Structure 1
Amino acid sequence: MTLKIKRHATALETISVVVPEEHVEIFENALGTICPTVGIFEEDSDKNIWRLEGIKDVGYGEEELANALTLANSISGISPELHRKATESDGWLARTYEAFPEQVIGKRFIIRGTHLDDTPTPSHLVLTLDAGVAFGSGEHGSTRGCLIALEKIAHSKPKRILDLGCGSGILAMGAGALLNKKVLAVDIEPWSVRAAKQNVIRNGLRNLVICEHGNGWLSPSIRKKAPFDLVFANILARPLCKMAKDLAKNLAPGGKVILSGLLATQIPMVLIAHQRQGLKLQEKIIQGSWAALILYKPTTS
């Protein structure tokens, strides 16, 4: 196997904070204002302490970052120290490539980086992503859980499919490739939509996956195509809870939803919010510290 190392034009740095579990999503959003990807790592399992890391260009977005952290501090009531360290661009890419080998997920999927030039494992659906922006795209427990969940519900043959908060588009592509159905992929971040479109083209799925910029359930394209037979929402626990009512409203009777982006410890909170809207639990899938939930909307009698 050969690794293709490409150079980054500007100097990079890693920024990080260490916070208690209950404040993870607040500070993930803060770092995410300027970092294309934010990694979440367990720092102390006994105390439920987590480290959040993002990589960005040196000097980029300093004012936005300061404002986002000030808001996060105010909301959370804590003020974690922001750590910085220089990150060698070539070294970072090399480590990223080494940390992103071929990912075999479930029985059907393989996720591969563009840096791999060997022949992929046969008899699987292969999804290819740029390893330079692929954090959380197969090696992350929430993504793996969603793809495993997709395999489990594929027999229901959903026709109207939505990937809400699509990010890289990996779940939309997985659904399109496995089910051979059209998928609407929507994200509030323009750069995510651009990356998703590139990935869709790279994987030859332009006829199946439609990527659009939109603000969640307020998106005109989502309103036009609802109700859905299958919805992916790999976001964060609290936003999932807030959107539970809209999700139930836009899910067709008998439809299923795959929820993730939540820690296993957050399952009760997310589950209760959706059960209050009439959705039922079909299955929990645990991947490390992360969980994915398969819920369904009962058919009316």
Structure 2
Amino acid sequence: MTLKTKRHANALETISLIVPEKHIAIFEQALNTVCPTVGIFEENEDKNLWRLEGIKDTGYGDKELNSSITLAGGLTQFFPEIQKHSTETEGWLAKTYESFPAQKVGNMFIIRGTHLNDPITSSRVVLTLDAGVAFGSGEHGSTRGCLIALEKIAYKKPRKILDLGCGSGILAMAAAALFHKKVLAVDIEPWSVRAARENVKRNKLGNFVHCEVGNGWLTPSIRKQAPYDLVFANILARPLCKMARNLARNLQPEGIAILSGLLVSQTAMVLSAHQKQGLKLEDKVTQGHWATLILKKPREK
């Protein structure tokens, strides 16, 4: 999942789409091309329809956004009506802050916005993110699922860790803070990497997390540092399927992969692609309509 660091000094607008549940992930990714934050709300339970709302500066990236939504429509053969309306900047930020209190995730993590000033006394790992632009803040079911999955495999104490498609950097930071090991965090979007670097600096994890722009498994530094004990890939179902072979090749024997960004209905498809490469299902975490898979590479006989 990705995040953009563009600040909201200008007038804002909300872009709304109503889509079936099975198409949420693809249209969410389309909105994320230009929107710093995207919300997902149930619109009609009986018809299984969901409303996606993206917030962006008025007029910013309109051509790119239309192209992304058109592409998503081509992939899904579903073409939603695009609705736009102006959004008051201060009101939206205030609403965002109000809806982003400190969040406990699982038994190990607390996610806090930068707008919270009260001191924390907790034995949990505390991660601070900018609520004004945060996507990958721990609110999304896929992010929460990955953090809970990380908690489940914490006893394995991985040494070489990769966050593929790092977005805000939240998973890389969680692993670095938990294990005190170096983590390579890579995303294809430069603005996402800039945001991740800011978050890493904000959480004083610069000695552990290295963020860089890269194109998945083709990234030279990823290939150079392989194989890995732990790989996060919180992206989309179809890209996960396409990368299954490379993931299996770049995992250590008994290495763990935490995969998310997929709907519960897409679980079988993603799992099948990875089982064909010899990976085994260790566990599954479900958060609402989102699933997270914990896969393991068996030791060679």
Cα shift at 1:124: 1.4
1:291 match: 291
> Deviation at 1:106?
1.4
* Partner amino acid, structure 2, of 1:154: A
Counterpart check, 1:240 vs 2:208: no
1:258-287 CA deviation, whole Å, 9 max, x = no partner?
A: 111112222111111111111000011111
AA in 1 matched with 2:54: G
Deviation, structure 1 residue 24: 2.3
Structure 1 unmatched runs, 5+: 1-6
Mapped to 2, the partners of 1:77 and 1:71 lie a distance apart of: 10
Greater shift after overlay, 15-24 or 221-230?
A: 15-24
Q: Residue 175 of structure 1 aligns to a residue in which SS?
A: helix
Alpha-carbon distance change, 273 to 45 in structure 1, aligned in 2, over 3 angstroms: farther
User: In structure 1, how many angstroms separate the alpha carbons of the residues matched to 2:200 and 2:23?
Assistant: 33
Q: Which amino acid aligns with 2:51?
A: R
RMSD: 1.4
Check conservation: 2:25, 2:263, Cα contact below 8 A.
no
- The separation in 1 between residues aligned to 2:57 and 2:166, in whole angstroms, is 24
Q: 1:293 to 1:75 in 2, by over 3 A?
A: closer
Superposed counterparts of 1:25-44, under 5 Å:
25-44=25-44
Q: CA separation in 1, counterparts of 2:178 and 2:126?
A: 10
TM normalised by structure 2 equals: 0.94
Deviation at 1:126, TM superposition (A): 0.7
**1:63-74 mapped onto 2 (5 Å cutoff):** 63-74=63-74
Cα contact 2:136–2:167 (8 A) shared by 1: no
- Please state how far the C-alpha of 1:47 moved relative to its aligned partner: 2.7
CA distance in 2, matches of 1:137, 1:184: 19
Q: How far apart in 1 are the matches of 2:167 and 2:110?
A: 18
* Matches of 2:299 and 2:8, distance apart in 1: 52
After superposition, the Cα gap between the structure-2 partners of 1:149 and 1:43, relative to the gap in structure 1 and judged at 3 Å, is: same
Deviations 1:183-222 (A, max 9, x none): 0000011111000000000000000000010011111110
Where relative contact order (Cα < 8 A, 6+ residues apart) is larger, the structure is: 2
The alignment partner of 1:120 has SS state of: coil
Q: Is the 8 A contact 1:172 1:184 kept in 2?
A: yes
Q: Work out whether residues 39 and 135 of structure 1, in 8 Å CA contact, stay in contact via their aligned partners in 2.
A: no
Separation in 2 of the partners of 1:114 and 1:106? 21
Give the alignment of 1:60-209 within 5 angstroms.
60-209=60-209
- Aligned counterpart, 1:22: 22
Structure 1 residues 146-178: Cα deviation after superposition (integer angstroms, max 9, x where no partner): 111111111111111000000000000000000
How far apart, CA to CA, are the structure 1 residues paired with 2:149 and 2:23? 27
Q: d(CA) in 1 for partners of 2:255 and 2:163?
A: 14
> What SS does structure 2 have at the residue aligned with 1:131?
coil
Counterparts of 2:32 and 2:18, CA distance in 1 = 15
Asked if the contact 2:22/2:263 (under 8 Å) is kept, the reply is no
The number of aligned residues is 295
Q: Output the CA distance in 2 between the equivalents of 1:264 and 1:78.
A: 20
Q: Take 2:20 and 2:66, find their aligned partners in 1: how far apart are those partners?
A: 20
The residue matched to 2:132 in structure 1 has which SS?
helix
Runs (4 or more) in structure 1 with deviation over 6 Å come to none
**Code of the aligned partner of 1:140:** H
8 Å Cα contact 1:73/1:79 also seen in 2? yes
For residues 266 and 241 of structure 1, what CA distance do their matches in structure 2 show?
A: 10
Contact 2:161-2:184 within 8 A present in 1 as well: yes
User: How far 1:236 moved relative to its partner?
Assistant: 1.3
Alignment partners' CA distance in 2, 1:202 and 1:98: 21
Whole-Å Cα distance in 1 between the matches of residues 263 and 31 of structure 2?
Answer: 19
Q: TM-score, normalised by structure 1?
A: 0.94
User: Which residue in 1 is equivalent to 2:254?
Assistant: 254
Displacement after TM superposition at 1:257 (Å):
0.5
Q: CA deviation at 1:233?
A: 0.6
Deviation of the 1:32 alpha carbon: 2.0
Conserved? CA contact 1:39–1:52, under 8 Å:
yes
Residue 139 of structure 1 deviates from its aligned partner by 1.5
Letter in 2 for 1:300: E
Distance in structure 2 (CA, Å) of the matches to 1:285 and 1:74: 30
What is the percentage of aligned positions where both structures have the same residue?
70
